[in-house]
Structure 1
Amino acid sequence: MTANPIATVTGMNIRTAPVFRIVVLQPTTLCNLNCNYCYLPGRDKQNLMAPAAAELIAAAITDQAASNLDLEPVTVLWHGGEPTATPLDHFRQLLKPFEPLRADGLIRHSIQTNATLITPEWIDVFVTHGFNVSVSLDGPPHLNAERINRAGRPAHDQVMAGCRALQQAGLAPHVICVITPATAPHIREVISYLDQAGFPVIGFNFEEHEGINTGRPMLTRDEARRVWTEILTYYRDTPGAADRFGIRELMLLARYLNGYAPLDRDTIPTICWNGDIVLLSPELAGVTSPRYGDFVAGNIYKESLRGVLARRHSIPYVAEFERGLAECADSCSYWPVCYGGYASNRYAERGRFDVASTQHCRTMRQELVNAVLDLADPQQDAAMIRQLTPLTQAPG
Structure 2
Amino acid sequence: MSVELRPLGDRCNIQCRYCYQEGTRHAAAAAPRYSLPGMLAALEELGEPFVLFGGEALLVRDEDLETLFAYGLEQHGINAIQTNGALIEAHHIDLFRRYRVRVGISLDGPGELNLARWAGSAGRTRRATARAEAALDRLCREGLAPSVIVTLHRGNAAGERLALLAGWIRHLHAIGVQRVRLHLLEVDTHNDSQGLRLNDAENLHALRSLRQLESELPGLRFDLFREMRDMLLARDAVSSCVWQACDSYATRGVRGVEGGGERSNCGRTHKGGVAYLAAPRRGYERQLALYATPQERGGCAGCRFFLMCKGNCPGTALEGDWRLRSEHCATWYGLFEDLETELAAAGEQPLSQSPRRAACEAELTALWQAGLDESLQSLTRRLGVAAA
| Residue number in structure 2 paired with 1:221 | 200
Asked whether the equivalents of residues 202 and 246 of structure 1 are also in contact (C-alpha less than 8 Å), the reply is yes
Q: Which moved more, 1:83-92 or 1:144-153?
A: 144-153
| Correspondent of 1:390 among 350, 353, 375 | 353
| Correspondent of 2:44 among 50, 59, 81 | 59
Matches within 5 A, 1:277-296: 277-279=263-265, 281-284=266-269, 288=272, 294-296=275-277
Q: Give aligned pairs, total.
A: 322
Is 1:230 the counterpart of 2:209? The answer is yes
Gaps of 5+ in 2: 238-243, 247-251, 293-300, 359-388
TM superposition shift of 1:111: 1.6
| Correspondent of 1:187 among 162, 170, 193 | 162
Q: What amino acid does structure 2 have at the position aligned with 1:102?
A: H
Gaps of 5+ in 1: 1-20, 63-73, 298-307, 314-318
Asked whether the equivalents of residues 58 and 97 of structure 1 are also in contact (C-alpha less than 8 Å), the reply is no
Identity across the alignment (%):
19
| Residue number in structure 1 paired with 2:295 | none
Q: Which moved more, 1:158-167 or 1:189-198?
A: 189-198
Aligned Cα root-mean-square deviation (Å): 3.1
For 1:110 and 1:255, locate their aligned partners in 2 and report how far apart those are by CA, in whole Å.
25
| Residue number in structure 1 paired with 2:322 | 353
TM superposition shift of 1:227: 1.3
| Residue number in structure 1 paired with 2:83 | 113
Is 1:250 the counterpart of 2:225? The answer is yes
| Residue number in structure 2 paired with 1:366 | 333
| Residue number in structure 2 paired with 1:25 | 5
Matches within 5 A, 1:1-396: 21-28=1-8, 29-41=10-22, 42=25, 47-62=32-47, 74-103=48-77, 108-153=78-123, 154=126, 155-182=128-155, 183-185=157-159, 186-198=161-173, 199-210=177-188, 212-213=190-191, 216-217=194-195, 218-236=197-215, 238=216, 241=217, 243-261=218-236, 266=252, 268-279=254-265, 281-284=266-269, 288=272, 294-297=275-278, 309=280, 312-313=281-282, 319=283, 322-329=284-291, 331=301, 332-346=303-317, 349-355=318-324, 357-363=325-331, 365-372=332-339, 376=342, 381-384=345-348, 386-387=349-350, 390=353
Q: 1:366 to 1:214 in 2, by over 3 A?
A: farther
Q: 1:152 to 1:50 in 2, by over 3 A?
A: farther
Q: What amino acid does structure 2 have at the position aligned with 1:358?
A: S
| Residue number in structure 1 paired with 2:370 | none
Instruction: Write out per-residue CA displacement over residues 67-109 of structure 1, whole angstroms, 9 at most, x where no aligned residue.
Output: xxxxxxx441221211112111122233344343214xxxx43
Asked whether the equivalents of residues 228 and 371 of structure 1 are also in contact (C-alpha less than 8 Å), the reply is no
Q: 1:283 to 1:210 in 2, by over 3 A?
A: farther
TM superposition shift of 1:294: 4.0
Q: 1:235 to 1:93 in 2, by over 3 A?
A: closer
Asked whether the equivalents of residues 58 and 98 of structure 1 are also in contact (C-alpha less than 8 Å), the reply is no
Asked whether the equivalents of residues 149 and 183 of structure 2 are also in contact (C-alpha less than 8 Å), the reply is yes
TM superposition shift of 1:177: 1.0
Q: 1:337 to 1:101 in 2, by over 3 A?
A: same
TM superposition shift of 1:200: 0.9
| Residue number in structure 2 paired with 1:66 | none
Instruction: Write out per-residue CA displacement over residues 362-385 of structure 1, whole angstroms, 9 at most, x where no aligned residue.
Output: 43x3232234457x498xx4335x
For 1:165 and 1:206, locate their aligned partners in 2 and report how far apart those are by CA, in whole Å.
27
Q: What amino acid does structure 2 have at the position aligned with 1:209?
A: V
